[in-house]
Structure 1
């Protein structure tokens, strides 16, 4: 099954290459035209971005008392970014890879899921801080569009729903379980009758373990400060990559222009329905740059290179990471057979 999954991912990777090969070739040509030092800075910052994501997960694993090496989490995070890019499920598919790996290595499923809930809660929460500041400024200027407001509200609603779920699991576990039972009873009407009892039992057992894990976390909140720091670094490094690309190909830019364009781009990346926001983010960032006084040609160039670095770098590194994980799994299966 695992080898079939890897084969499917490699097929999707080949399909991605076939569709976007011309873009990748164009990116390589453009990178040679930028200021070499700042191009290298942008690439290094993108690497640090991925390293910080591994540190982000490592902090969560430590908080939940799940042992895992930082090096292996780096491989997992890069592989997860690759999966998120080439599969229709986007970031959910990448998250599923990390959850499945944690469970396979002995972590309780509820804790593995809670880790990823906390990851997105802190990640989107940190971005929401940037977003609120930027959009407050745009609101005062009167330049907010209906689409930006709608996307922002969707993101804030998602963050609020995650927060409410975790808080309910901590403070109102019985009420959460009771509500979950009612929702399950309604949802299970879509499931064949012979499977309903087992599906209901497994779902309720999982929710029970999730509330236990959330309650357990409240007794050990000491590691959450480190988690929050990594979440903030995600935004700082993301902004820095965009700034380095702009300097490499255009020159200096105002900090406000940088922050606003980054915020709009990341917002549409999160709420878009395509993997990694392909098609939506590019249009949103280019339009934002242009509206803030950047020439259309420079806006398209910077956006294309920035998206190229943040898409192709994880893609190429992810193929290597997936190969490493495949070799590890084959070795593990061979050792069990022996």
Structure 2
């Protein structure tokens, strides 16, 4: 595709999305800087907390890495997970490879990721259960929502349990 074709394609795309562009400009103009700064701090906190979980797991395993090395891996994980929708697998593998490149043994890198994923799932589980309780107290927790919460709880508990069960290997009686 030549430069002219790319230019024409760009003009067509801009024309098709001009309404979206206008909305974006309007959104930027109406944005409140204090809220944006607050949102940036909260978002940065998620990367730092994820890196802190990995830091603790790696320290316990005897392969410490500084937080300043782990935070960029957290940013890369979230970015990769959003760009390549794979249920978090692509970002997890990126971090595991990043840890291995930093001389962390593969099994310890995978264990650190497992600890991170389980802690993430536990946080979500707590929020979902707290939300369900609030809805129940307000008598707004209907049957479809109860079923959804129940499925979420079962999957959130079963998947890590299955992974941990596989890690231990088959049991002999």
TM-score with structure 2 length normalisation? 0.71
Hey, which of these two has a bigger chunk of helix by percent?
Answer: 1
Deviations 1:49-91 (A, max 9, x none): 3222222222222222223221121111111111101113141
Give the stretch that moved more between structures: 66-75 or 158-167: 158-167
Match status 1:61 vs 2:54: no
Moved over 3 A (4+): 20-29, 145-151, 165-170
Are the counterparts in 1 of residues 58 and 108 from structure 2 also a CA contact under 8 Å? no
Unaligned runs of 5+ in 1: 1-17, 180-338
TM-score with structure 1 length normalisation? 0.40
| SS state at 2:30 partner | coil
Are the counterparts in 1 of residues 54 and 115 from structure 2 also a CA contact under 8 Å? no
Partners in 2 of 1:21 and 1:59 — Cα distance?
Answer: 48
Matches within 5 A, 1:268-307: none
Q: RCO greater where, 1 or 2, for CA within 8 Å and sep 6 or more?
A: 1
Match status 1:164 vs 2:161: yes
Are the counterparts in 1 of residues 50 and 116 from structure 2 also a CA contact under 8 Å? no
Match status 1:177 vs 2:164: no
Deviations 1:11-37 (A, max 9, x none): xxxxxxx9x997687446414313322
Match status 1:100 vs 2:97: yes
RMSD, aligned CA: 3.2
Matches within 5 A, 1:326-337: none
- What is the number of equivalent residue pairs in this alignment? 157
Are the counterparts in 2 of residues 117 and 162 from structure 1 also a CA contact under 8 Å? no
Partners in 1 of 2:107 and 2:127 — Cα distance?
Answer: 30
Unaligned runs of 5+ in 2: 1-13
Give the stretch that moved more between structures: 117-126 or 47-56: 47-56
Matches within 5 A, 1:135-214: 135-145=132-142, 147-165=144-162, 168=165, 173=168, 176-178=169-171
Partners in 1 of 2:31 and 2:88 — Cα distance?
Answer: 31
Match status 1:129 vs 2:126: yes
Give the stretch that moved more between structures: 110-119 or 147-156: 147-156
